[in-house]
Homo-oligomer: A and B are copies of this chain.
């Protein structure tokens, strides 16, 4: 099976914002796996890496807000929400956001739409959880085109940095998307993260 053939499935890029059950904490992550699954009534499906804090918080609160990122979105926004864990950082600190009627955070800029959702079903898919949700509210927030994942890869994401210079010894590689650690000094050719399928470009060195 050519796993790379699945890269041809087009998608957008979204900030999936949620909250804890009691509303005392908010968090979010970047996802490109979201679609409208039914129109009458309006239903949406979104898939989240199971070990992301966002996944656990959606399971707890049963609600989320989807910010549909537009083509003005900067890499800073993607890296703020997609390249660090809510376990280590308050991702929304310093971001321009608001809370929706369901208490979930959404961005006030770099979006073309915001959808507020309530989970109806969840399906356990081992590496991911698939949530099927009711769309409770939907608002157009801007006129820019939606950011596509293809454009993100080609134009927004910086090219991979060269290997570290100097004296440091690389003992492993960490996936910047999901945190998976590969504990050998060199990634094999064509390596893909076993958790989130991202390639070597999304790994950063771990120094010994």
Contacts and interface: CB of A to CB of B under 8 A. Distances in A.
Interface of A: 1-6, 8-12, 33-45, 47, 68, 112-115, 121, 123, 125-128, 130, 132, 135-140, 145-150, 192-197
Given A11-B11, A39-B127, A40-B126, 9 more contacts: A6-B138, A8-B146, A11-B12, A37-B47, A38-B125, A38-B128, A40-B197, A130-B132, A146-B150
B140 A68 contact: no
Nearest to A198: B39
A34 B9 contact: yes
Contacts of A39: 3, 127-128, 192-197
Nearest to A131: B37
A12 B12 contact: no
A35 B8 CA distance: 10
A-B CB proximity, top 4 nearest:
A10-B12, A39-B197, A38-B125, A38-B128
Nearest to A41: B126
B137 A43 contact: no
A34 B35 contact: yes
A132 B140 contact: no
Contacts of A35: 9, 11, 33-35, 45, 47
A114 B1 CA distance: 11
A60 B161 CA distance: 50
B34 A1 contact: no
Contacts of A197: 39-40
Nearest to A197: B39
Given A123-B121, A138-B1, A128 B37 contact: yes
A193 B40 CA distance: 9
B33 A148 contact: no
Contacts of A68: 5, 8-9
Given A8-B12, A8-B140, A38 B127 contact: yes
